[in-house]
Structure 1
């Protein structure tokens, strides 16, 4: 069993550890969402090298890992965003599951948030991932809402093409070529929407606007699949959904677990190593 001091940051120069982390994180994505998220992009390891290149105190991506005999066997991908430390992904290799590695990584995130002065942690968990949900609840995470990943209707069901203007094509194309995924800003109907591509998969905003964008960009991006993510406050469902998630949040002022993170912290914050 590892201790808190054995969880360390993955450095931008450690290419083997980055690739191992990407494989672990990609494998942890629910089956129905495989190929749809940036972990599955061809150049995601290269993206992480860039994201982890600033000094530790200036990063917004924090990749924390446990190793056995130098090999990455568990990893947590934390993002500093919207006033919280968000768990973008967490994964433990199958032979090491059930031995507390996931809990150690979560404890590590709490200590990291405390040292950074971030008041809360957030995450998404698949509705049918009962084990992970129970662990998060035990740690003090509470439900904040739900999201449904849903198929966007095919072109024949769309309301027709509308004029759109692409605002940042050069930056988008450069990112897509370098990393295999990218975010595109598109103006339509007096509003600006974000569109994400991972390979040839397109994610658009939910509702009619997403259908319009999918059709307007179909000739340019030629997607093999288009989907959207719809958020809501209740646990209902929407037509065409194929995956459901619970958004959870933990305020550091309302911890339930009977432990004192401050006393267990080392004198030197481990993620700054």
Structure 2
């Protein structure tokens, strides 16, 4: 019997490998190979070297760009966490029809170009925009408020673009939380605050961590919104890469900066896995 099972198992594994192998080849060709070539360009000249990474560390310009990018990414992620969690929790409490309408409104921005949505903020927040005209008309300010071409404008625009990436998976995870768990806690005398803090919130943390890390990674490599709403005054990593490649042709230095971006992304992903794992265990 065991001798007959082994060939069948081997054939099944071979068949599964035949299905998976083309996908592995495509993934390696599209994703792994370009990243490997990029890292190789930053580490070989043609001998192994860390010269380009040393230049990044010793240059105050690139350090400021990295720190500014990290700052904006963290603030944007924090704002998205607060707004996204409140919005997803509110959507969960709606009727099925209300949930469908709310989810449609959250998805609706995906149908509009990011460039169009970014330029729309100039109309809203510009010196002659809707917000400033309103503030001036009601007398709250005497001169237009500088919402744009600074870090505040970049954070506002980036939050607007990336908020759905946190809300949608978090809302889907919240819908899967069994209401009977809250009912059981209530039957044992727990208050609504205790039920939320000890039952509901811990169950939603893995999805929250996954959404937060997605927002952080996308913000860290964002280009369009910082370029438009920053007006060239708020350079981030993606903008620095564009300058190094298209203006200065410093491919090796750009590859080293991309390597730093990759390391930060992997570290953030690992942190989210740890947070999500601990929350699941708890």
Which structure shows the higher helix fraction? 2
Quick one: higher RCO (CA 8 Å, sep 6+), 1 or 2?
2
Bigger strand share: 1
Question: What TM-score, normalized to structure 2?
Answer: 0.20
